[in-house]
Amino acid sequence: MRNNVKTITIIGGGLAGTEAAYQLAEHGFNVKLYEMRPDKMTPAHSTGFLGELVCSNSLKSESLSTGSGLLKAELDKLGSIIIKTAQET
């Protein structure tokens, strides 16, 4: 166990914020994650849940010759909780 574990504050519980919080916690950091929803909603969101995918085009392709396909492959190799969850559902 580490002495003087740092606490990292993350503002925003979208895809990037939730992924960052997960990865930091997995590596032994204390994490505080702040998200405005469900208290304050926006037109882009339909739920108050964390990590809501608001643009389905972001993760559309599986082909490594596309930006989104390459990104998904890289995220998978790095242990992304977002990609793992997407593959399980």
Per-residue pLDDT tens over the stretch 48-63: 989 887 766 667 788 9
Q: What is the mean pLDDT of the chain?
A: 89
CA distance 13 to 76: 20
pLDDT in tens, 26-43: 999 999 999 999 899 989
24 and 33 in contact (C-beta within 8 Å)?
A: no
